[in-house]
A and B are shown apart, each in its own frame.
Chain A
Amino acid sequence: MYKQAVGENPVQMNINGKAVAVEADGDMPLLWALRDVIGLTGTKYGCGAGLCGACTVHLDGAPVRACQTPVGDVGTAKITTIEGLSASELGRKLQAAWAALDVPQCGYCQGGQLMAAAALLTETPKPSDDDIDAAMAGNLCRCGTYTRIRAAIKQVAGVTA
């Protein structure tokens, strides 16, 4: 599934449960390593400055902005991208709720939204509205689907709307 890396100093990474050798300089943001070198394009470029959250991935379960995370800083942390979200039951539930509640408009931000939501519910299974606001404030949706993002999170968490 992943492109074979070739070259003298590949970086060893664990992506979506697989060991991957990535041919990238240490200062390359994880975002571009995922998209251009490995060929996983679900992680999106929106701002390149940690302002929009479209590139949100998990490092050992914690949400980070891939555009602000140099490959050389990842170390042995396990990387989960939107392509790997369905490996967990929570991830599959979130994806199903997102699709059934028809959250997306253009859909470009939704991978990052889902990664942020999965990290929230892992940490806080029954979030309050304030918890949702705090966890999701870093993820822009230019189409303005926030109403449904909130509804989908609450549905999966089983908290009342």
Chain B
Amino acid sequence: MNALALNRRQMLFAGALAGGGLWLGAGPAGAAQDGTAAGLTAFIRIGPDNRITIVSQNPEIGQGIKTSIPMLIVEELDADWSQVTIEQANADQKIYGRQVAGGSMATTLLYDSMRRTGAVARAMLVQAAATRLGVPAGELTTGSAMVRHAASNRSLSYGALAADAATLPLPDLKTVTLKDPKTFKLVGKPMPGVDNMKVVTGAPLFGIDATVPGMKIAMFVKCPCYGGTVGSANLDAVKAMKGVQNAFIVPGNGDDYELAAGVAIIADNTWAAMKAREALQVEWAHGAGAEQSSEGFAKAAAAAANAQGAVPIFAEGDAAAAMPAAAKRLKASYHYPFLVHAPLEPMNCTARVDGDKVELWAPTQNPEPGRASIAKLMGVAPEAVVIHMMRCGGGFGRRLTTEYMVEAAWIAREAKVPVKLIWTREDDTTRGNLRPAGWHHLEAGLDATGKVTAWTNHFVSFGKAGKFGRAAAIDTTQFPARFVPNFRCDATVLDLAAPTNFLRAPANNGFGFVMQSFIDELAHLAGQDPVAFRRTLLGTPRLVGPSDKRDSYDAARALGVLDKAAAMAGWGRKLPKREGLGIAFHFSHLGYFATAMEVAVADAGDVKVKKVWAAGDVGRQIVNPSGAINQVQGSVIDAIGSAMGQAATLAGGAIEQRNYDGFPIMRMPDAPPIEVAFVMSDHPPTGLGEPAYPATPPALANAIFAATGVRLRSLPIDTELLKV
């Protein structure tokens, strides 16, 4: 067994597999120097029969990560895709480090390290072959999990070499030879998802499909108003119902992100649990948010229109002086609503508690907060919580919070029986955690040539006691900060009792609409073409901000995608009456995207999206073009669907929508054709789960303006305003 430090906390290990094979993996620094020790898991296992297993470390929520990340290992290992089996890892950050489906970060963080992991294994196998064949390693080539010596026409399979390789020292990860990307056989080729056949045959894959012997179904009924507690409930009547095993009150810990108060129902099957909850009567003590409503927030936000916010965000130059000096000025207020995530698989988790040990089968995109909450609330050791990460029926950020894991564990312990906790669709909607709504009171000034000289934004968002809540802040560098000489952004934070959470391209999913719509207004005010106006605003192709900062803005890359989308759409062409082309660009999650959209608006106001063109720059390599295009098309459809009709509204501290009739998801007849192009630039490859979203809603609004002359400043769009 050999080890090599990966970083401060993790080691890379190699060792022998039982029966004579190679095992290469990672684990915590200081782990037992024994390949079979608990707490160590392999990224790569090569058996003597040449069977190769690759472990996928991150949760799979639909971004194709269980396919694309192993592709990186297998490419450098130099095996064929058909020769490997992919396994899903359990949650264990001591072994794997970050295991999160969030922030579009998997490709960014793993592109290099997974390649190197594969390359290390290959180098060890080549060295083992060199010794066995008595030839210099430099004379050997690899391919299809074989090492070949061409001069003597001899070949050895990886499986035949694995036992010898396991005894060799690990080569240095930093200096191990990587392939020239021009020679890639797998990376850059479209690969179907590794679990596609299981998906299309209905195999049990998802969290909600988990079963444990003796398992019962649990439901957890919480106060419609966030923060509410249980006064009393007709538990005896519920317990007497057919198929109901138990019903009890969970006091909770007062934190909606962890364990809210509610009533647990344990039943033989889901239908019995559903009938029991219909019969359940609870007297709730409403929480702090009972007086809060979307209507009230809108009034508070409107009242802030002509004031400055108390929270300074970013200022450059002197906007107060520059604004009155401008040749033309424009004021406008923009708004986007609360949203819930509405993944098709509702929150659920299966839990078994045995003494101090908790075992979970959890569809989660972020397992560790669940582990921490369970350890804290149930008084168990974090390492005594075993988390099987199940495929997720959609995430979109919803499964970054882990309250359903805590609920399942708590209820299983109290009920003394393994449970599958299932939220109903209504639970999932009414107990969603919210994409924060937002208001932006904007003003901009143009000089005589139409150049933007001043820009102010009073951003109204949510949190507690003047501090932004989760996913509710605006970044100091949000475009066009740093691109307008006199700029000021400040904020007002409204108190919100309901929990907020990240939703696909968090914050940017609203900012893109606001900034790129207002920029469109300014282009028309200046009497300029919207693409030309944006090119001027971006200015010379250059990097704005330090090169090592995540929020530095590369104007060259933004121009690249803007020009590409415009070219794809045939920008400038003449369209019939009530039809229009719109365009927008946005940078978020390290990706640059521009969307162009063609719409037709009926006299009755209905908007038909006829075609979409999306151009993205996520660096020098698309790992899996099939998954990549799917992600972009899905993001565009998500964004249009949301802009067309989605809003979660609060009344009495509770979400008013309950199911997909009140919170519509785009359907097949409305889905437009979407053409996708990637602009390749010489930058490290980054992720695609999110960055195609933010430029899409403003492209829609700008296209509607082009078709009708009506500027829509609020989402979801109001087609009443578009009637002839």
Residues of A near any B CB (own CB < 8 A): 24-25, 27-29, 32, 35-37, 39-49, 51-52, 54, 81-83, 85-86, 94-95, 98-111, 114, 132-134, 136-150
A148 to chain B, nearest CB (A): 7
**Which of A39, A81, A140 interacts with B344 by CB under 8 Å?**
A140
Contacts of B667 in A (CB 8 A): 136-140
Bound-complex Cα distance A134 to B667 (A): 10
Residue of B nearest to A83 (CB): B202
Bound-complex Cα distance A95 to B342 (A): 26
Cβ of B193 < 8 Å from any Cβ of A? yes
Residue in A47, A52, A106, A140 whose Cβ sees the most chain B Cβ within 10 Å: A106
Interface residues of B in 47-100 (CB under 8 A from A): 61-64
**Which of A54, A101, A143 interacts with B634 by CB under 8 Å?**
A143
Cβ of B183 < 8 Å from any Cβ of A? no
B128 to chain A, nearest CB (A): 36
Inter-subunit contact A32/B271 (CB<8 Å): yes
Inter-subunit contact A39/B211 (CB<8 Å): yes
Bound-complex Cα distance A42 to B190 (A): 27
Cβ of B155 < 8 Å from any Cβ of A? no
Inter-subunit contact B668/A146 (CB<8 Å): yes
Inter-subunit contact B202/A82 (CB<8 Å): yes
A54 to chain B, nearest CB (A): 6
Known: A102-B192, A111-B202. A36 touches B269 (CB 8 A): yes
Contacts of A107 in B (CB 8 A): 62, 193, 195-196, 199, 205-206, 391, 393
Inter-subunit contact B631/A137 (CB<8 Å): no
**Which of A82, A100, A114, A144 interacts with B637 by CB under 8 Å?**
A144
Bound-complex Cα distance A149 to B424 (A): 27
Contacts of A100 in B (CB 8 A): 192
Residue of B nearest to A54 (CB): B344
B389 to chain A, nearest CB (A): 14
Cβ of B346 < 8 Å from any Cβ of A? yes
Cβ of B270 < 8 Å from any Cβ of A? yes
A-contact bits for B181-213, CB 8 A (1 contact / 0 none): 000000000111101110111111110110100
Cβ of B554 < 8 Å from any Cβ of A? no
Cβ of B392 < 8 Å from any Cβ of A? yes
Known: A32-B270, A144-B637. A95 touches B665 (CB 8 A): no
Residue of B nearest to A150 (CB): B668
Inter-subunit contact B665/A140 (CB<8 Å): yes
Inter-subunit contact B200/A114 (CB<8 Å): yes
Q: Which of B303-311, B372-380, B402-410, B669-677 binds A?
A: B669-677
Inter-subunit contact A83/B637 (CB<8 Å): no
Known: A32-B270, A104-B193. A47 touches B668 (CB 8 A): no
B134 to chain A, nearest CB (A): 45
A133-B669, A145-B634 given; name 7 further pairs at CB < 8 Å: A28-B271, A44-B393, A99-B199, A104-B200, A109-B344, A111-B202, A144-B636
Bound-complex Cα distance A107 to B50 (A): 31
Contacts of A109 in B (CB 8 A): 344, 393
Inter-subunit contact B201/A45 (CB<8 Å): no
A-B contact pairs, 14 of them (CB 8 A): A42-B202, A45-B422, A46-B345, A47-B659, A81-B202, A98-B199, A99-B196, A102-B192, A102-B193, A136-B668, A140-B660, A144-B635, A145-B630, A150-B668
Inter-subunit contact A110/B393 (CB<8 Å): no
Known: A51-B661, A108-B394, A144-B634. A44 touches B208 (CB 8 A): yes
Residue of A nearest to B627 (CB): A102
Cβ of B641 < 8 Å from any Cβ of A? yes
A-contact bits for B323-342, CB 8 A (1 contact / 0 none): 00000000000000000001
Number of B residues near A (Cβ < 8 Å) is 65
Cβ of B476 < 8 Å from any Cβ of A? no
Residue of B nearest to A36 (CB): B269
Cβ of B322 < 8 Å from any Cβ of A? no
Inter-subunit contact A49/B659 (CB<8 Å): yes
Inter-subunit contact A106/B200 (CB<8 Å): no
Cβ of B517 < 8 Å from any Cβ of A? no
Residue of B nearest to A71 (CB): B271
Residue in B627, B661, B667 whose Cβ sees the most chain A Cβ within 10 Å: B667
**Which of B204, B344, B636, B674 interacts with A106 by CB under 8 Å?**
B344
B645 to chain A, nearest CB (A): 13
Inter-subunit contact A52/B344 (CB<8 Å): yes
Known: A36-B271, A49-B661. A144 touches B641 (CB 8 A): yes
Contacts of B424 in A (CB 8 A): 48
Contacts of A150 in B (CB 8 A): 668, 671
Bound-complex Cα distance A133 to B193 (A): 26
Cβ of B108 < 8 Å from any Cβ of A? no
Inter-subunit contact A142/B422 (CB<8 Å): no
A160 to chain B, nearest CB (A): 14
Bound-complex Cα distance A28 to B135 (A): 71
The 5 closest A-B pairs by CB, nearest first: A42-B202, A108-B393, A144-B637, A106-B62, A82-B202
Residue of B nearest to A146 (CB): B671
Residue of B nearest to A138 (CB): B667
**Which of A40, A43, A106, A134 interacts with B394 by CB under 8 Å?**
A106
Inter-subunit contact B201/A82 (CB<8 Å): yes
Inter-subunit contact B668/A133 (CB<8 Å): yes
Contacts of B242 in A (CB 8 A): 25
Known: A39-B211, A105-B630. A51 touches B193 (CB 8 A): no
Cβ of B626 < 8 Å from any Cβ of A? yes
Contacts of B127 in A (CB 8 A): none
Inter-subunit contact B196/A102 (CB<8 Å): yes
Contacts of B271 in A (CB 8 A): 24-25, 27-29, 32, 36
Residue of B nearest to A116 (CB): B668
Residue of A nearest to B198 (CB): A107
Residue in B195, B242, B665 whose Cβ sees the most chain A Cβ within 10 Å: B665
Bound-complex Cα distance A133 to B667 (A): 9
Residue of A nearest to B62 (CB): A106
